[in-house]
């Protein structure tokens, strides 16, 4: 008699199936366009470009996997890596949901809460995008109004500021080091911007873990 899969086993099974399916779909679109319009790429140029850029993305992918999975859980990670926008949206949503439910991500309850939170976030994001597409033309004059420009510029800082206050206030000793590190890096290296967030988040996490370990060893935590 076939044994019933546990919850985590089913998460990994379904996660692998859906991630591989999405990967196939992502490759299918450019392949279909190339075949339909008879516009095959310059394979030599494609290969040279891939060699130049792929190693960076491979490194980021490995680092992000080890960084995000412990915070998002298995189900949340599978879903987040498909839907994207992890650091700006999925991670804050998952952390806030876990905090509100007062559960740990490495528990089965935490896995479920994190996955539901990220799924709802993805659905809401999709609905907002649909509304944006439908309303972009009538709302363009309003959204482009100079009076609203300062407000739109502060959306992300306000989001992370609210989350930051909540978490920093709980253990400010741990928070001081990564905050100082990021301030120094972004001030000293102007080239760092929103496009480098995929690298800077893992760097900040590893640095925080190292500092926390030192503080713990010294009896300061």
pLDDT at 1 over 50: no
| CB-CB neighbours of 11 under 10 Å | 22
- How do residues 124-170 score in pLDDT, each as one tens digit? 999 988 998 898 888 888 878 888 888 877 877 777 777 777 667 77
Shared domain check, 115 and 75: yes
Does 1 fall in a domain? no
Percent of the chain scoring above 90 in pLDDT: 13
Is residue 67 within 8 Å of residue 205, measured between CB atoms? yes
Placement of tokens 């298995």 in the chain: 74
Does 199 or 100 have the greater pLDDT score?
A: 100
Is residue 93 within 8 Å of residue 162, measured between CB atoms? no
Q: How confident is the model at residue 221 (pLDDT cuts 50, 70, 90)?
A: confident
Does 34 fall in a domain? yes
pLDDT at 99 over 60: yes
pLDDT at 195 over 90: no
- How do residues 6-19 score in pLDDT, each as one tens digit? 888 888 898 999 89
Placement of tokens 């996955």 in the chain: 115
pLDDT at 66 over 90: no
Does 2 fall in a domain? no
Q: At what angle do helices 197-217 and 172-188 cross, to 10 degrees?
A: 140
Shared domain check, 69 and 98: yes
Average pLDDT for residues 43-47, to the nearest whole number? 86
Q: How far is residue 26's CA from residue 60's CA, in Å, rounded to a whole number?
A: 19
| Residue 59 structural domain | 7-170
Q: How far is residue 105's CA from residue 90's CA, in Å, rounded to a whole number?
A: 14
Identify the three-state secondary structure at position 164.
Answer: helix
pLDDT at residue 28, rounded to an integer: 93
Does 17 fall in a domain? yes
In the DSSP assignment, the letter for residue 201 is: H
Comparing 108-117, 173-182, 199-208, the range with the smallest average pLDDT is 199-208
Comparing 12-26, 35-49, 82-96, 183-197, the range with the smallest average pLDDT is 183-197
- Going by C-alpha positions, the residue among 19, 29, 26 that lies closest to residue 82 is 19
Shared domain check, 181 and 157: no
**Range 74-88 burial, b when 16+ CB lie within 10 A, else e:** bbbbbbbbebeebbe
Shared domain check, 164 and 181: no
Does 142 fall in a domain? yes
Does 182 or 116 have the greater pLDDT score?
A: 116
**Would the pTM count as exceeding 0.75?**
no
pLDDT at residue 166, rounded to an integer: 66
Shared domain check, 186 and 157: no
Provide the mean pLDDT of the chain.
83
Shared domain check, 176 and 162: no
pLDDT at 59 over 50: yes
Q: How many structural domains are present in the chain?
A: 2
Shared domain check, 135 and 213: no
pLDDT at residue 83, rounded to an integer: 87
């Amino acid at each position: 008699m076939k044994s019933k899969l546990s919850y985590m086993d089913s998460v990994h099974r379904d996660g692998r199936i859906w991630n591989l399916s999405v990967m196939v779909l992502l490759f299918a679109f450019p392949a279909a366009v190339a075949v339909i319009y008879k516009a095959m790429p310059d394979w030599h140029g494609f290969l040279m470009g891939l060699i130049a850029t792929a190693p960076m993305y491979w490194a980021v992918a490995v680092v992000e996997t080890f960084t995000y999975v412990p915070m998002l859980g298995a189900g949340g990670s599978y879903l987040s890596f498909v839907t994207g926008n992890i650091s700006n949206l999925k991670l804050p949503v998952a952390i806030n949901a876990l905090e509100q439910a007062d559960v740990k991500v490495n528990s089965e309850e935490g896995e479920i809460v994190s996955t539901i939170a990220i799924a709802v976030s993805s659905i809401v994001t999709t609905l907002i995008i649909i509304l944006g597409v439908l309303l972009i033309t009538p709302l363009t004059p309003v959204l482009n109004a100079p009076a609203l420009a300062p407000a739109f510029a502060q959306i992300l800082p306000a989001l992370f500021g609210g989350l930051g206050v909540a978490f920093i206030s709980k253990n400010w000793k741990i928070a001081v080091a990564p905050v100082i590190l990021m301030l120094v890096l972004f001030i000293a290296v102007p080239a760092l911007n929103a496009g480098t967030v995929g690298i800077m988040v893992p760097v900040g996490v590893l640095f925080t873990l190292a500092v926390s370990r030192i503080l713990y060893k010294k009896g300061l935590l």
